[in-house]
Amino acid sequence: MFTLRTESQIKRKQNELRQQQQTLITRLEQSESNEAREALKDQNERLADRIDLLEWVLNEPLGSYHA
């Protein structure tokens, strides 16, 4: 069973993910290993995708995709 989230819950999650992303970016800047840097970049991409998805949920487009 799915539970719908309120706008404020979505915004809180979005802010939480942005904070995680800032921490990740700091770690990325301080990383000396190429392997670690690549892993952090991948994590950053996934976080960015999640943030974008929440942004879309908050600003759901109007109309039909197939119109």
1, pLDDT greater than 80:
no
Q: Cα(6)–Cα(38) distance, rounded to whole angstroms?
A: 35
For residue range 7-66, what is the model confidence (pLDDT) as tens digits? 999 999 999 999 999 999 999 999 999 999 999 999 999 999 999 999 998 887 666 665
Q: What is the pLDDT of residue 60?
A: 74
| pTM for the model | 0.80
Single-letter residue type at 24: L
Q: What is the pLDDT of residue 4?
A: 80
Burial 16-52 (b: 16+ CB within 10 A, else e): ebeeebeebeeebeeeeeeeeeeebeeebeebeeebe
Q: What is the pLDDT of residue 47?
A: 97
Q: What is the pLDDT of residue 5?
A: 85
H-type alpha helices, the chain = 7-30, 34-58
